[in-house]
Amino acid sequence: MTQLQTWIAAFGWAPPWLVSTVLITVAVVVALALHAVVVRIVRHAISRHSAFWQPLIARTRRPTRMVFIVAALGPAVSAAPLTAAQAAGAKHVLLVLFILLLGWMAMAALDIGAALYLRGFKVDVEDNLLARKHVTQVRILRRAVAILVGIFTLALALMTIPGVRQWGVSLLAAGGAASLIVGLALQPLLTNLIAGIQIAVTQPIRIDDAVIVEKEWGNIEEINATYVVVRLWDWRRMVLPLSYFIQTPFQNWTRESAALIGTAMLYVDPAAPVDRLRAKLEEIAKASPLWDGKVVNLAVTDLTAEVMEVRCLVSARNAPKTFDLRCEVREKMMAFLRDELPEAFPKRRLALAAGEG
C-alpha cells in the first residue's frame, strides 16, 4: 500500500465523493504551483533576448498549465475511490485532453516560428518582390501545416474512442467505408489545401501582386487556407478559391517585377509631326516623378485615310504608378495638341472634282 493509499484509508469515514473531490483539488493546486515554479526556472535559464523561446513560453503558458493539471489528475483519479467504469471514463477524458493540448502547443509554436521568420521581410517598401515571395510561402504553408496538425490531433483523439475509432483511422489513412465518406466530405478542403501547397511552391501569385481576375483588376490582399481575397481597384473585395489560381488562366502584372510599361493611345491627323510628339512625350516622362527612367517611346501603330494612331509607352515602378503616369501622359499630350498643335487634331477632308463648285 502506497503512502497516498494509506492516507486515503485514514479517511475511511468520509464519503467517496468527498475524498475524490479533495484529491482532485489537491492535484490541481500542486500542478498549478509546480507549473509556476517550472516556468520561472525556465525563463531564468533562457536568455531574455531569445526571439523564439520567450514568445513560445508566453504563448504556451495556458496549454502547458493544462498539461500539468492533466498529468497530476492521472494519479489522483487512480487513487480516488471510484468505480472501475468511473475511473476508466475519467482517464479517457484526461487522455483526450492531453492530445488536444499537444495540438494546441504545436499550433502556438508554428505561429511563433512563422512570425519570427517573417520579421526580416517588409512588404510596405518599394522593392518588395523578395518579401512578398517569402510572406506568401510562409503564410500558405503555415495554414496548410496548421490544418494537418488539426486533422492529426483530431484523428488521434477520435482513435481513443471505440465507437468512432474508424473515423480517426480514416483521417490518417484511406481505407474502409468511413474513409470514403470522410474523403467526400473533405474533398473541397483537401483540394484547396493541395492547391495552397502548389501556390506556395510555384508562386503564381504572391501577397500584393497586381492581377486581373474575372475581368477585374486588383491586388492580392489575403491568401488563406482555402480562399484568396483580391482587393479590386474600387476597394471591393473578390473572394476566390485557391484552386481558381491553379485551374483558371489569369493575368499577373507583377510576377517577376513590380515595374510595368503603360500605354497611352493618341489619334491625330496623318499630317501631325511625329518628331514633335515624340519629343514632347520624352519631356513629360522626364519631368514626372512617376517615371522610373527606363522606358519612354512613341510610335505610329496604325494609319487610315483620316486618322493616325500613335502609341505612347512609359514605364513606372509599380501598377498604381503606371496607371497614374498613363493618365498624366494623356492629359499633357492632349494639352500640348490643343495649345501648340491644334492642326494635329483629326480632320475630315473633302476633295472636289474639277469643274464643280
Query: How do residues 104-122 score in pLDDT, each as one tens digit?
Result: 888 888 887 787 788 777 7
Q: Please provide residue 18's backbone torsions phi and psi, each rounded to the nearest 5 degrees.
A: -70, -45
Q: How confident is the model at residue 4 (pLDDT cuts 50, 70, 90)?
A: low
Distances (CA, A) of 331 to 163, 321, 325: 74, 15, 10
Q: Please provide residue 81's backbone torsions phi and psi, each rounded to the nearest 5 degrees.
A: -75, 70
Residue at grid coordinates 504563448: 59
Q: Is the pLDDT confidence value at 176 over 70?
A: no
Q: What is the dihedral of CA 70, 75, 78, 82, to 10 degrees?
A: -60
**pLDDT value for 341:** 93
Buried b (16+ CB within 10 A) or exposed e, 137-166: bbbbbbbbbbbebebbbbbbbbbeeeeeeb
Q: Is the pLDDT confidence value at 322 over 80?
A: yes
Percent of the chain with pLDDT over 90: 24
